Structures are given as C-alpha cells and as structure tokens.
Amino acid sequence: MISDPLDPAIEAKVRESFARQSLMRLFNAQLDEVTSGTAKISATIDERVQQQQGFAHGGFVFSLADSAAGYAALTLLPMTNEVMTAELKINYLSAGKGRLIAEGRVLKPGHRLVVVAADVWAEHEGARKHIAALQGTMVPVTT
C-alpha cells in the first residue's frame, strides 16, 4: 500500500510525542515507521512484559496496538491537535513470543472522531504470526 507523503513537521510532531510516552520507554518500544495515516511500533517481548507462560502479556499487546493506532490518527490531524483514545476493541488471535510489531492505520479520518485499526504481529525464530487485531476510535484534542 502506497500512502501520501507525510509533512516533515507532522512526522517530527509524532516522533516527539512518542518520545514523551513513558510507557513506550518502559517497554523499550521503537516508532519504526510513520507515514500518512499509518504508524508502526515494535518492541521485544522480555521478562517484564510476559504473562505466566512466557508469552506476551495481553496488556503489552494492547498498549502497542493502541499507540500505533493513535499515532496513525495523529498523522492526519492539524499541528494544533493531539489524540486521545475514546474506545478500543481487541481480538487476541494467538500467543506471541519474540518481537512484536504493531501496525496502526486510519480507517476513517474525521474532525471529531477518527476510526482506527491495528494489527499486531509476533516475529520469532524466522516466523511471523498475526497475534491481535484492534479497532477503535480516537478523539482529536487541542493542545
């Protein structure tokens, strides 16, 4: 999928916002890619974010997907806006080990509501597995 070029000022704003997220720092997450209407975040599943069986904890998966979807929304908003999550639904499809990649995208942009989605993939021992699908609504807020 080819997306529209992203205004460098918007990309800088998104990356600066991501850098302020203490939860993403706690996870050692990286904002790997930002384009118009999309964002990709990755993080390794280490002992701090595992559930009792050694797989990625659902809260960790959810947080990465929420942030990827939110930053995808932010790429389409004016410089004076930030976003907040209004509601999200997630389906956990499989357990994950290794490294997670959350790929967020905008389904429907808007001035009052932005409908978003994110898919989370686990990469482990050369295999890539779809482990979660999220859909929700972000609300633009003035900073």
pLDDT in tens, 76-109: 999 999 999 999 999 999 999 999 999 999 999 9
According to DSSP, the β-strands at 114-124 and 99-108 are antiparallel
5: DSSP letter: P
For residue 89, the tally of other CB atoms under 10 A from its CB is 9
At residue 5, the pLDDT reads 78
Given a contact cutoff of 8 angstroms between Cβ atoms, the answer to whether 101 and 24 are in contact is no
At residue 2, the pLDDT reads 52
SS3 assignment, position 61:
helix
For range 69-78, the mean pLDDT: 97
At residue 3, the pLDDT reads 60
pLDDT band at 117 (very low <50, low <70, confident <90, very high): very high
8-142 folds as: Thiol Ester Dehydrase; Chain A (3.10.129)
pLDDT band at 143 (very low <50, low <70, confident <90, very high): confident
For range 62-71, the mean pLDDT: 98
At residue 118, the pLDDT reads 98
For range 48-65, the mean pLDDT: 96
- Residue 75 tokens, joined: 């790429």
Q: What's the one-letter identity of residue 73?
A: A
- The helix (H) or strand (E) run that includes residue 69 is helix 58-74
125: DSSP letter: T
CA distance 18 to 36: 16
- The pTM assigned to this predicted structure is 0.95
- The answer, yes or no, to whether residue 4 has pLDDT greater than 80, is no
Q: Which residues contact 108 (CB under 8 A, 6 or more apart)?
A: 114, 115
